[in-house]
Each structure stands twice: as C-alpha cells, then as structure tokens.
Amino acid sequence: MKIYKTILLTAAVVFTTACQSKVKEQKTETTIKKEMAEAVKPTQEDLSNYETAYFASGCFWCVEAIFESVKGIPEVVSGYAGGTEDNPTYEQVGRGLTSHAEAVKVYYDPEVISFTALVQVFFGSHDPTTLNRQGPDRGPQYRSVAFYKNEEEKKIIEGYIQALKDQNVYDGDPITTQVVPFTKFYDAEDYHQDYEKKHPNNSYITNVSIPRLNRFKKNFGEYLKEKIH
C-alpha cells in the first residue's frame, strides 16, 4: 500500500519532470550514443561529464543495484558518507565503529533524469520510516540519508518529504530520513563494487537484494533501462 501511494504521489509532485521526459523521447543521435554507453563500464574521464548525487538507504549492495537499473545513470559507486572519520573501512562501518553510513555515489545525466526523479527513486525503493534499520540490517550505519550539495537540492528533498507527509503515504509513521549537507564520500573496497551482479548466488543477495530490486522494478518500470539483469 505504501508503494502504491508513493506512485500516486509521483503524478502530483513530479508531473513536470515526467512531461519533460516524454518530450525527450524523440531521440537524437547524442541520446542514442549515451544509451549505448550505459551498457559499457564508463571510465573516470567519461564520468566527469555527469552530475553526482548521494544517498544512503541500507546495505549499499542493494542500493547500488537499484540505482544502476535506472535510465540516465551510467554508474553507481558503493561507499561511506555522513561521518567524520577519515578513510573508513567496511569492517569499521559495518561494526558501527564510525559515524558513517553505507551510501552510494550516483552519476547521472540531468538531461535524461532529474534530481527530483532521483529523490523519487530513493524514497520509492526503501522504507524511510524505520530508524537506523533497513530490512534485516540494523544500526546507524544503515540509516536513511538524503545528501544535498546546494540549496536547490535541499529544497527538492524537503519538498518531497513534505508531500509524502501531506499525502500520508506512510499511514502516520514518521519519516526518519536525515537531510544533511554532503561533505565527503569514501569509495568502498573494490570487492563491494557491483557486488550484486558479481555474486548472484550469495544468500544475502538472493534473499534481500534481489527481492528489493524486483519490488522497485515492478513499481517503477518507466524509469528502467531497456536491458537490465
């Protein structure tokens, strides 16, 4: 029910974004090339041409897979953000020994997908009412965080949260998502990158990540890339 209400909310909150997307369906040669490039692992030089956004909503294996399924997003990096310690490690963050959260760095093309739409993907792919918990993962390192890099992004995030409250999407449950300024992002260790793709038979992936990704795909089909696993 919560997801269904969120989809209804989308029509009211991001109608302008949806209309803009339809206009852009008249594909130019440049757009076609960008879509083809999404299927190939981009280089750091390629990524320098994109905007970035940062979110945390539980295990980054799950979050990375969700955002990488979305059109206009060529790459997502798993990592750590929101804390004060330098160079955190997975062992430290996972054990709750730092103030960081597991997070993702999303590279996106604003000509294909807006920051508003990214916020919709963020809220539509996890439960923001569970404090310091997402699914089976518990602790502040799994908290819900929407990071903003400027006042416009902050306004978009807070506006969307207010719309969720006004529409009572979560049946009165308080939204616990932190809205905080972005400071620094630390890439996670190499073996965490694309973890869901590389380890499809891992028990956590099959029991938690894949079901979460499939729920998102079922409800946000219009945002999905044409070819996703």
Main-chain dihedrals φ then ψ at residue 65, nearest 5 degrees = -65, -40
CB 107, CB 54: distance < 8 Å:
no
**What number of CA atoms fall less than 13 Å from residue 33's CA on the CB side?**
4
Q: How would you label 15-45 residue by residue, b for 16+ Cβ within 10 Å and e otherwise?
A: eeeeeebeeeeeeeeeeeebbeebeeeeeee
Among the listed residues 14, 56, 59, 106, the single catalytic one is 59
Pick from 113, 5, 137, 9: nearest CA to 52:
113
Tokens found for residue 112 = 């294909």
**Is there a catalytic annotation at residue 59?**
yes
* Residues tagged active-site: 59
